[in-house]
């Protein structure tokens, strides 16, 4: 198993999380539910000492139950979150159970501890069949993650108002530590198939990740063993597998779990050293961090790759249109020549009716060509502006993806904000109705400190460029931008203090580094007062013209050094901050 891939939460890790969570949230009072994704809920519970956040997901590729740190407040409230907040208001969580080798978790709620249960939350972690339910005291469905229609399941169709029915029992027998080695081996060797298939077909609660952990501590060796036929496995390997099988069952029985991020899988919650006194080590919170970082990385890659492909596609289209208009413009004959031909005809002695008509046609053709020329020039200017916008957007995207001072969550927010802007101003023909109603949380503006202690702001998208240059700037602030080149707006908040020459140079260097010309040794930078800037009418956010100004030469390498030092300082401050 590739540790770079997301490890699916199996029965063993689920049991470890349940043991950990019971000690933290039983009993507790339900406080809030928020839905951050289509198939993911975050619930908060208040105990006597703290507030604990739990994340439940029935997404097919990452179904899970984990603890998370306090998440940011979500914008808007989904229908499912509203139903849960209403149904569980002021109720106490007094029961959290998972039975046997089923991956079904049940939260039980009552008005007060020691009273009858009134509400139930059911989370089923079964791959693509995963789902979520809220039930009333008669165990009828109040709401659910996704409806199960008749054509989806003849055995268990469930909709709102239907009684809750548990899914069919998993195939195979329940693992038993009292089963002898010979009987255990005979069961697995009954059919000559691969070892992993034999385990999955004969025993409940077994997952591909557990099989790798049972096989070996070395990933490649573990993969080799579980893919062998049961007839090819040596007796020594069988005894070793059985020994580890019993150790695993002992951990299940005694509920002794610890988490390790090493071995043949990305993580495991038990070890070969069968130590019943091993202390639980925040399994639920550690797994919450693992899944959050992995899913954020996946989301970041999907967003950045998708937006980059979209920009490249529309850029190719604009460049093709531009070439077409330029070709048409270059192939327009000179209308003056046609006009002179018409003049020559009419200046001849006694021109015939046919000659007069020919001259009139030539005049008409010259007039049409003049109009055509102006239209083509206008179209070329339009495509030029769109290409400038695309080039600047590509620059913003590259800066976000290559940034070292932000985590993936912040990068996702920044890319989502840029994407939302481009949907409105660039991808107009491709915009979907749903995307116009989506709310993108604003990302933070990048700020550095100059040698004199003044703040230097750097725009990383079109909206931020407009924000720092026009909307939030004050008289005295200084604006920097690469001359005739796509790039970020850089604004030094000179209105807050006195600046020196090296402050101005730092602003110019940063404007050079955050521009398309960052690979040049020196870049001409326009420096102007922000009150000399004016937004171009009808243009996209961040498109300005300046009056006056001065040219400085920016050094991109020095700008990169300024940025790296600021990044290192930010990372040091983050690592030294209390958790």
pLDDT at 378: 87
CB 105 within 8 A of CB 98: yes
What does the radius of gyration of the chain's CA atoms come to, in whole angstroms? 33
pLDDT at 150: 67
Task: Return per-residue pLDDT of the chain as tens, 579 residues.
Answer: 455 689 999 999 999 999 999 999 999 999 999 998 889 999 999 999 999 999 999 999 999 999 999 998 876 789 999 999 999 999 999 999 999 999 999 999 999 988 999 999 999 999 888 999 999 999 999 999 988 776 666 678 888 999 998 888 888 999 999 999 999 999 999 999 999 999 999 999 999 999 999 999 999 999 999 999 999 999 999 999 999 999 999 999 999 999 999 889 999 999 876 554 444 468 999 999 999 999 999 999 999 999 999 999 999 999 999 998 888 787 676 666 766 777 777 787 777 878 778 777 777 777 776 667 778 888 898 898 889 889 889 999 988 888 776 788 888 888 988 888 888 888 864 444 333 334 445 567 889 999 999 999 999 889 899 999 999 999 999 999 999 888 999 999 999 999 999 999 999 999 999 999 999 999 999 999 999 998 887 777 888 888 888 999 999 999 999 888 877 765 565 455 444
Within 481-555, residue ranges assigned H as helices are: 501-513
pTM of the model: 0.80
Tokens of 165: 């029915």
pLDDT at 535: 87
Pairing of strands 92-97, 28-37: antiparallel
pLDDT at 480: 96
Pairing of strands 40-46, 28-37: antiparallel
Pairing of strands 141-144, 446-449: unpaired
End-to-end CA distance of the chain: 32
Whole-angstrom distance, CA of residue 105 vs CA of residue 97? 6
Tokens of 187: 């069961």
Q: Is the dihedral of CA 436, 437, 438, 444 positive or negative?
A: positive
Residue identified by tokens 């998708």 is 306
pLDDT digits 0-9 by tens, 364-384: 777 776 667 778 888 898 898
Q: Beta-carbon neighbour count of residue 579 at 10 Å?
A: 3
pLDDT at 331: 66
Tokens of 332: 């327009």
Cβ neighbours of residue 550 under 8 Å, at least 6 residues apart?
A: 526, 527, 528
Nearest of 368, 363, 357 to residue 341 by alpha carbon: 363
| Per-residue CA distances from 544 to 56, 377, 381, 481, 534 (Å) | 47, 22, 17, 11, 5
pLDDT at 336: 64
Whole-angstrom distance, CA of residue 367 vs CA of residue 88? 76
Whole-angstrom distance, CA of residue 481 vs CA of residue 511? 6
């Amino acid at each position: 198993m590739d540790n770079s891939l997301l490890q699916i939460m199996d029965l063993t890790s689920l049991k470890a999380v349940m043991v950990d969570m019971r000690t933290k949230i039983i009993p507790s009072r339900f406080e809030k539910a928020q839905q951050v994704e289509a198939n993911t809920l975050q619930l908060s519970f208040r105990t006597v000492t703290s507030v604990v956040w739990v994340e439940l997901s029935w997404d097919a590729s990452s179904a899970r139950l984990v603890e998370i740190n306090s998440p940011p407040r979500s914008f808007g409230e989904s229908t499912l979150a509203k139903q849960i907040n209403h149904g569980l208001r002021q109720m106490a969580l007094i029961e959290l159970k998972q039975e046997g080798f089923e991956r079904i978790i049940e939260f039980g709620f009552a008005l007060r501890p020691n009273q009858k249960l009134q509400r139930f939350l059911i989370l089923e972690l079964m791959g693509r069949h995963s789902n979520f339910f809220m039930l009333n005291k008669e165990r009828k469905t109040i709401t659910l993650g996704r409806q199960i229609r008749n054509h989806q399941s003849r055995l268990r169709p469930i909709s709102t108002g239907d009684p809750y029915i548990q899914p069919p029992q998993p195939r195979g027998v329940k693992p038993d530590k009292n089963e002898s080695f010979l009987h255990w081996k005979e069961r697995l060797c009954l059919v000559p198939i691969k070892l992993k298939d034999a385990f999955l077909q004969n025993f409940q609660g077994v997952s591909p990740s557990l099989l790798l952990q049972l096989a070996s501590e070395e990933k490649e060796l573990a993969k080799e063993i579980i893919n062998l036929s049961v007839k090819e496995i040596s007796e020594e390997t069988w005894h070793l597998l059985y020994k580890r099988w019993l150790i695993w069952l002992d951990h299940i029985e005694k509920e002794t779990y610890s988490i390790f991020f090493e071995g043949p899988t990305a993580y495991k919650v038990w070890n070969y050293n069968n130590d019943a006194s091993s202390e639980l080590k925040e399994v639920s919170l550690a797994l919450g961090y693992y899944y959050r970082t992995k899913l954020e990385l996946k989301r970041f890659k999907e967003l950045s790759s998708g937006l980059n492909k979209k920009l490249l596609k529309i850029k190719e289209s604009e460049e093709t249109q531009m070439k077409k208009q330029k070709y048409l413009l270059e192939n327009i004959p000179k209308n003056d020549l046609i006009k002179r031909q018409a003049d020559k005809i009419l200046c001849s002695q006694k021109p015939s009716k046919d000659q007069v008509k020919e001259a009139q046609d030539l005049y008409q053709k010259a007039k049409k060509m003049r109009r055509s020329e102006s239209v083509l020039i206008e179209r070329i200017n339009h495509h030029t502006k769109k290409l400038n916008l695309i080039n600047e957007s590509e620059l913003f995207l590259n800066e976000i993806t290559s940034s070292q001072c932000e985590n993936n969550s912040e990068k996702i927010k920044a890319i989502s904000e840029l994407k939302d802007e481009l949907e409105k101003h660039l991808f107009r023909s491709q915009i979907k109705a749903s995307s116009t109603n989506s709310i993108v949380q604003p990302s933070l503006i990048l700020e550095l400190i100059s040698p004199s202690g003044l703040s230097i702001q750097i725009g990383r998208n079109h909206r931020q460029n407009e924000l720092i240059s026009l909307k939030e700037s004050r008289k005295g602030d200084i604006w920097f931008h690469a001359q005739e080149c796509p790039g970020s707006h850089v604004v030094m908040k000179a209105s807050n203090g006195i600046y020196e020459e090296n402050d101005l140079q730092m602003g110019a260097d940063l404007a050079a580094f955050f521009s398309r010309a960052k690979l040049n040794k020196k870049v001409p930078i326009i420096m102007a007062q922000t009150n000399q800037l004016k937004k171009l009418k009808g243009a996209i956010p961040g498109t300005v013209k300046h009056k006056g100004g001065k040219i400085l030469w920016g050094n991109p390498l020095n700008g990169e050094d300024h940025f790296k030092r600021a990044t290192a300082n930010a990372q040091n401050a983050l690592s030294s901050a209390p958790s």
